Structure 1
Amino acid sequence: MNKLYLYTLFVFSFITLVSCDINNPNEDKFEDDPESGWIYFERGTTSVPYSETATIPLTLTAPVNLNGLDVTYMVEAVDNSSVVPASVVGTFTQEDAIIEGELEGSLDINLSDIEEGVCYEIKVTILDTNNGSVDVGLDQNEEEGATVYLTEHYLSTGVFPDEFNGVSYYNEDPIYSFQPTLTPVEGEDNVYEIDTAWGVDFLPTLSSSLDALPYPATLTINNDGSVLIEGSADYATGGEGYYNACDQTITYTLTQSYLTDNTITFDVILTGI
């Protein structure tokens, strides 16, 4: 009886081990090759004011990056875009797009020959890397909730408006319209002093018991199209958002410490005129 029991236990254990191997063909893959992984774009779009270079963030999923990663990519004009200069489109390789020891990096897209004042849209596609263990993207979007590693990125760039109209929102409802003044900071690219980031009378419009506060700030549009708001008053605790070059809009969310509930935030959209 004991022999039969031991034999049955042995057979069951063997079947279990074989089944695990069948169901997990990639088990221990990273242990065998710690540089195995995927490279992809963190997001699908970037929009920036005209500049000579635009930066698109990259991410590597491998456990380690021992020697740095060169990335080959293709730039194409989008069909409905203005005529993109020949020097901008084509296939390029950027050395050390992700430097040794890092898992995040970027592609620096050359826009130096683009005509300032015209809105362009281009598509950037990751093609290959210099490491055969690194795959380009992984689209698992066939299953709901599955991870998508983007290999295509749409970049737009155009003229920055001289003037804007602003609308401030609370709980997604438009509350107050205003016209801010954005003054370029000397010696800085795409950095502006904004006299009022939400409109001087925004708070009294919410409630007559609130003070009229302008929310002065420094507004920075980064090379990846993200927007940073740095308040220059005690209550103006800053915010962040994004820029759309072709729509000529700046969208951001502001935090504050003026109200009793300092977790309340306000959304603002500036539209070029």
Structure 2
Amino acid sequence: MKKLSYLLVLFFLAVAIQSCRDNHTEPFYDGEPVLHFQKESAEVNATDVGFTDYVVEFGTIAPVAAGTTVTLVKKGGDAVEGTDYEVLGGNTTQVAAGAVNGSFTVRVFGAGLSPDTAKTLVLGLQSSQIANAVYNQEITLSMRMKCPLPSNFPLTYNVSVYAFNEDAPSHTQTLVPVPGTDNQFTIASSWGPNFVAWATNTPSYANQYLYPGVITINCGDVTFTTSAAYGSNTTGTYDPTTGVIQFAVQQSLFSTQFTTNITLTPQ
């Protein structure tokens, strides 16, 4: 009998909870529309001979009652309108009655940008018909130049290694494109499979501590990042004429600190 009473209590509790849900007792917004950006920052890369269009999205939380004009305004940054970017179709747009969002398209030109230091563009929203929200009132676009790699970009390289003021064992590496990117490649070993064995004069260390990583190429710049606990991230150079990639790595595997210079030359 006690068990039946317990089950009845659970049944009535479940019915009460469902009743609350049916009565929409969960919190919901019933205020006036307010303007806000959908995100606070974004990176936009454009080629040195082209442009990239970036869609800046904004919302109103609640539907607008009538057609509403919203203006996109520059609030800061060193990007120059007409040189580094332009707002396609102008910096005003109409939000239709019943809508809860809108967008602007910012065209970013790569010719005046740098792959090294980003230019920034800080944007805000204004409307005489809708107030602004208390959050996401600015979006910062970071703009850089991006140089596309040639379609015949080589993937197999002869790698020369230099440390302790002498040549370490050379090796061959195949760069594997990172899916979804056009300028990132994984490398199985940066300083080579025999480097640690050579540096310690211990043959049993062959094929250990390979120092793998990801090579990212943008124009003449190279970034090498590694997941190896004993390694560190670094930067280098890429020569688009010769295809040579160069960077130097540090390590914490040895008690003595030293620099290892790595040069990848296409086969």
TM-score range for the pair, normalised by the shorter chain length: 0.3 to 0.5
